[in-house]
Chains A and B, each alone.
Chain A
């Protein structure tokens, strides 16, 4: 940091707002003006930068997480129906 007293930009986006619009940002759904304010805010705010990084990590990090397998009886019944289907 510098010796100069830190000054926020006039139209700085508050962190409390950032956490509400972060998904819209990641989804590419933020209006251009809000997007600009958010991106400017990110250049000065380590907390929001980390928050964004975490939301990104989460969004991209859950692939393949499966709570349970499909029931074996269901799978067997469906495959049996496939074998027995009327042939055309």
Chain B
């Protein structure tokens, strides 16, 4: 945090001096996430881009009054949210992020229940039948090769609030606190959205790799496990 504050201070000083390179860098760093967040408030990508452009103008005009009480990023996104809410109202669609998120929350299971043994299984209730198997991830990581496209497609398919949270956390590298503040959601809500998003992207990668392994059920049937009913509590 202290490092970030010092970096902010230097950056703001450079921008106030008229350093266009420093300002351009700031624009490049934050605009993708800003477009993403703005889109959750306004009806189209085009309007979202207008909101982002308007935000940068407001940043230019207001940068000298930035006092460093929050991080520069938080300050910029607060301006963005204010402008986006106004834009959303003009377009008759002003939905707070939390409401958008609540409307998306379907509450289904994270993994297909058929992949687990039933809850009344004698030996391994609720345990895997079709386990996740090791991914053959290339050495360069998940973003090398075709998995990059698989991940992008999976994120694009997510409901908007989930896509926004996973983008800010895992692509932009924001902390959970920063996400909660920018989107005005609780820590619990942020985790739910992140969980749903990561769960679906994980499933898409797993499907792409075909990385599952079925457990030999005959090896976990009660008959083969022998005398499990006896001396069960010998250690307690």
Specify the main secondary structure of chain B where it touches its partner.
helix
A residues contacting the other copy or chain, number (CB 8 A): 50
Q: Binary interface profile of A, 36-62, with partner B (CB < 8 Å = 1, else 0)?
A: 000000000111101100110111111
User: A65 vs B153: C-alpha distance in the bound complex, in angstroms?
Assistant: 12
Q: Does B27 contact A (CB under 8 A)?
A: yes
Measured between beta carbons, the chain B residues less than 8 angstroms from A7 are 228, 232
Q: Binary interface profile of B, 110-124, with partner A (CB < 8 Å = 1, else 0)?
A: 110100100100011
Q: Which residue of A lies closest to B176 (CB)?
A: A27
User: A42 vs B159: C-alpha distance in the bound complex, in angstroms?
Assistant: 31
In the complex, which of the residues A5, A29, A78, A79 has the most CB atoms of chain B within 10 Å of its own CB atom? A78
Contact indicator A78/B187 (Cβ below 8 Å): no
Specify the main secondary structure of chain A where it touches its partner.
helix
Contact indicator A54/B132 (Cβ below 8 Å): yes
Q: How large is the interface on B (under 10, 10 to 19, 20 to 34, 35 or more residues)?
A: 35 or more
Measured between beta carbons, the chain A residues less than 8 angstroms from B49 are 71, 74
User: A29 vs B133: C-alpha distance in the bound complex, in angstroms?
Assistant: 26
How near does chain A come to B152, taking the closest CB pair, in angstroms? 6
Q: Does B78 contact A (CB under 8 A)?
A: no
How near does chain A come to B146, taking the closest CB pair, in angstroms? 13
Option from A16, A55, A75 in Cβ contact (under 8 Å) with B198: A55
Task: Name which of B54-62, B84-92, B96-104 contacts chain A.
Answer: B54-62
Option from A5, A29, A67, A85 in Cβ contact (under 8 Å) with B228: A5
How near does chain B come to A21, taking the closest CB pair, in angstroms? 9
Measured between beta carbons, the chain B residues less than 8 angstroms from A23 are 191, 194-195, 198-199
